[in-house]
Amino acid sequence: MRGKTWRQTQAKVEVSALNFYTFDVIHRVVPPVAMPSPHRSAAADVCATVGGKTADPLRVAVLGSTGSIGTSTLEVIAASGGRFRPHLFAAHRSVGPLLEQARIHRPAWVVVTDPGAAATIGADTLPAGTRLAVGPEALDDLVRAPEVDRVVSAIVGAAGLRSTLAALGAGKTVALANKETLVMAGPLVTRLAAERGAVLLPVDSEHSAIHQALRSGSPDEVVRVILTASGGPFRTRPRETLDAVTPAEALRHPTWSMGPKITIDSATMMNKALELIEARWLFDLPGEKLAVVVHPQSVVHSMVEFVDGSVIAQLSPPDMKLPIQYALSHPRRLDGPARRLDFSAGLRLDFEPPDPIRFPAVRLGHEAAARGGTCGAVLNAANEEAVGAFLAGRMRFTGIAEACARVLDGHAYQADPSLDDIRRLDAWARQEVVKWVSA
């Protein structure tokens, strides 16, 4: 795996990272610092299942199974002809959809992280063979279990960090949709993965495209990584009307169907800011090698420019089932349920630079990716809080990027933060946005 190989030059796991983790789990039965797991290696997984003839499917834990990425993941698993087996589904409060998924797909476990929501589940509502666990600690334990071969990390927001750390700490192969994990704690997360022999495979379509394109050359031959952006619903909307954008308008994405948080991030283009930071850590790239281009059709998912001038791109219709499947089947490719490009119908591809006036968030992403340290965690937390305020009608659409810029500029920057530092600054940034909204 290219990203992981690049990161292997990194030093050891930060002791402070494990301390942070220990505080969270101290009351539990399972030892908090995961020991090397007996789970199969990624290469062995593939021999055993993807191309091979044995009836030994990859057992998949889907965290955030009721969300947009989660439901697409279940489609990929169902279409895999038994190569992937659903082992665990986890959701926060969406108990009804979770139980419905359990009845259809029969995982060994369902986990509800919100105890209040779990209390509404009747004893007779689980299908035979499926057990219920409750709370984030239980999820961490189950994710680390030897029965789990791959973890799809698709919880939304900062809440996805702890279970991703649990999986990586146990040496799992993680299909990472939760970009916030790398945005908040990129250096710690990639060091932990390298130390534990864990593998991070991107699900974000841009990063999946980059991962695929990087297979065309060696790291020292890469000149630039170019992330494409749809431009969202307001790509051509005049600047002076953006103040009046309503949540309903911002939730109408032209090319992708996604959860509400990331859909608002696409409208502000903060999603691209977060993805610049994600790419910086995932592929160990300096900020100056990262670029963004607007591509309204969302067919070219990103590109890598090599030293000889070749630009390698990955193309497919906007359908997350393809990058999800790539992260589950890597290093092999499988036939699957994702939509195909139809060149016989004609295909037009446009590219234009992002407008820095209408979409100031992109600049924030470049800055945060270049500076590293605490910038990603602060930007992510401020943005999560601001998006919540916008959706609740308490903030203007253009206020989201303004609040984020102010909080980012005003924070006490640290170049090499511990997870404790990150957690503290995450709380501080959210508080600053709350103050800004009520001022």
Stretch that binds Mg ion, among 20-28, 40-48, 203-211, 311-319 (CB under 5 A): 203-211
Q: Per CB under 6 A, which of residues 246..275 are in contact with ligand NAD?
A: 256, 258-259, 261-262
Among 5, 78, 160, 38, CA closest to 328: 78
Q: Which residues pair with 153 in a beta bridge?
A: 63, 176
CA distance 245 to 37: 49
Beta carbon of residue 67, minimum distance to ligand NAD (angstroms, whole number): 2
d(CA 425, CA 183): 13
Bridge pairing between strands 84-91 and 58-63 = parallel
Is the CB of residue 174 less than 8 Å from the CB of residue 149?
no
Residue nearest to ligand NAD (CB): 67
Residue count at the site for Mg ion (CB under 5 A)?
Answer: 3
Would you count residue 388 as binding ligand NAD (CB under 6 A)? no
Shortest Å, Cβ 120 to ligand NAD: 14
Site residues for Mg ion, window 54-113 (CB under 5 A)?
Answer: none
Binding mask 132-161 toward ligand NAD (x if CB under 6 A, else -) reads: ----------------------xxx--xx-
Q: Rounded to 10 degrees, what is the CA torsion of 100, 106, 108, 112? A: -10
Residues sharing a CB contact under 8 Å with residue 234, sequence separation 6 or more, in sequence order: 242, 245, 250, 267, 358
Which window, 17-25, 55-63, 86-94, 199-207, contacts Mg ion (CB under 5 A)?
199-207
277 binds ligand NAD (CB under 6 A): no
Least Å from the CB of residue 211 to Mg ion: 13
Residue 92 makes contact with ligand NAD by CB under 6 A: yes
| Interface pick for Mg ion out of 180, 195, 204, 426 (rule CB under 5 A) | 204
Q: Is the dihedral of CA 285, 261, 317, 104 positive or negative?
A: positive
Would you say the C-alpha torsion 40, 41, 42, 45 has a positive or negative sign?
A: negative
The answer to whether the beta carbons of residues 338 and 81 sit under 8 Å apart is no
> Under a CB-based contact definition with an 8 Å cutoff, are residues 316 and 298 in contact?
no
Q: Which of 204, 278, 421, 426 binds ligand NAD (CB under 6 A)?
A: 204
171 backbone φψ class: left, alpha, beta (φ>0; ψ -120 to 50): left
Partner in contact with 269, chosen from ligand NAD, Mg ion, none, beta carbon below 5 to 8 Å by kind: none
Binding partner selected for residue 64 from ligand NAD, Mg ion, none, CB under the kind-specific 5 to 8 Å limit: ligand NAD
Q: Which residues pair with 150 in a beta bridge?
A: 60, 173
Q: What does the alpha-carbon distance between residue 365 and residue 314 come to, in Å, rounded to a whole number?
A: 23
Question: What is the rounded distance in angstroms from the CA atom of residue 190 to the CA atom of residue 403?
Answer: 29
Give the total of residues touching ligand NAD (CB under 6 A): 27
User: Which lies closer to ligand NAD via its Cβ, residue 204 or residue 426?
Assistant: 204
Q: Compute the residue count for the chain.
A: 439
Which residue lies nearer to ligand NAD by CB, 70 or 233?
70
Residue 177 touching ligand NAD (CB under 6 A): yes
Q: Which of 3, 32, 57, 64 binds ligand NAD (CB under 6 A)?
A: 64
At closest approach, how far in Å is the CB of 262 from ligand NAD? 4
Handedness of CA 229, 230, 236, 237 (dihedral sign): negative
Q: At its nearest, how many Å lie between ligand NAD and the CB of residue 91? A: 4
Task: Check residue 113 for interaction with ligand NAD (CB under 6 A).
Answer: yes
Residues in touch with Mg ion (CB under 5 A)? 204-206
Residues in touch with ligand NAD (CB under 6 A)? 64-70, 91-92, 94, 113, 154-156, 159-160, 177-180, 204, 256, 258-259, 261-262, 320
